[in-house]
Amino acid sequence: MTSAPKFTLAAAALAALSACGNATGDEAGYGPLGVLASTAQQTIASRTARDQPAAPARTPQERAAEALRVNPGPLIMAGFENLGQTQIMAMTGQNGGQRTYMTPAEEALILRGGMLVGTRGLGHDLSVAEPGTEALIRAGSAGRGQRVMRYFSGDGRERPLQFDCTVGAGPNPGVLVEDCRGHGTSFQNSYMVQGGQIAVSRQWIGPALGYVTIQTLRP
């Protein structure tokens, strides 16, 4: 499959995944997770206003095509829903099965076979995710498990939050949904898995950043 049709199919898949899930009370700033969200939202808003580039806008498709042309390495496209931004991110490091993808502004996502396990440089980052449902998701199987999400708090310490999750078929063919609840909030992660690798997904980062849609441009 060539890059152009592969990109078109993946873009359609992203649209299907983005239709899954709704905002929760905690994402609006209520409940225990709202404590984590409040400061980060202010930081993100000020940075977004300050760092907007004064360049002609290009579509995500145009940016992806250009990135594929000039960068021979692994690439992803990440759409941050709460920020209203889409970023092309190149792999800058690999540690075992974990890859770090980064923007020129040093904002990073850390992925393991497409599973989001951390962020850096985005403000009140997800330190590490420990998804007990990962094996189910990669196998395309239904079941239950726990997910631990660790966040950096204002004093620099990690705060772990544990969620109970169920995994099952989503509303669209080929989409697997991980439905998680805990601490007065809920979120849904959606995945399209190919050969045990997560090729396209919509995953919850946390209460401030909300969801990110991740598309593999070049593995």
Instruction: Walk me through the domains of the chain, giving residue ranges and CATH numbers.
Output: 3-218 (2.40.360.10)
Residue 165 has what pLDDT?
98
Low-confidence stretches of the chain (pLDDT beneath 50) = 1-8, 22-44, 46
Q: Give 172's DSSP letter.
A: S
* DSSP string for residues in 13-74: HHHHHHTS----TGGGT-STHHHHHHHHHHHHHHHHHHH---S----HHHHHHHHHHH--S-
Q: Which pLDDT score, from 0 to 100, does residue 54 have? A: 60
Burial of 2 (0-12, 13-18, 19+ CB in 10 A): exposed
Spatial separation of the C-alpha atoms in residues 209 and 83, rounded to whole Å: 7
Task: Extract the tokens encoding 104.
Answer: 């020129």
DSSP codes joined into one string, 110-163: EEETTEEEEEESSSS-EEEEEETTHHHHHHT--EEEEEEEEEE-TTS-EEEEEE
pLDDT tens track for 142-151: 999 999 999 9
- pLDDT value for 25: 42
pTM score, whole prediction: 0.77
Sheet with 158-169: strands ordered across: 115-120, 108-112, 98-102, 85-95, 75-80, 210-218, 197-206, 185-194, 176-182, 158-169, 143-152, 126-131
Q: Report the greatest alpha carbon distance in the chain.
A: 49
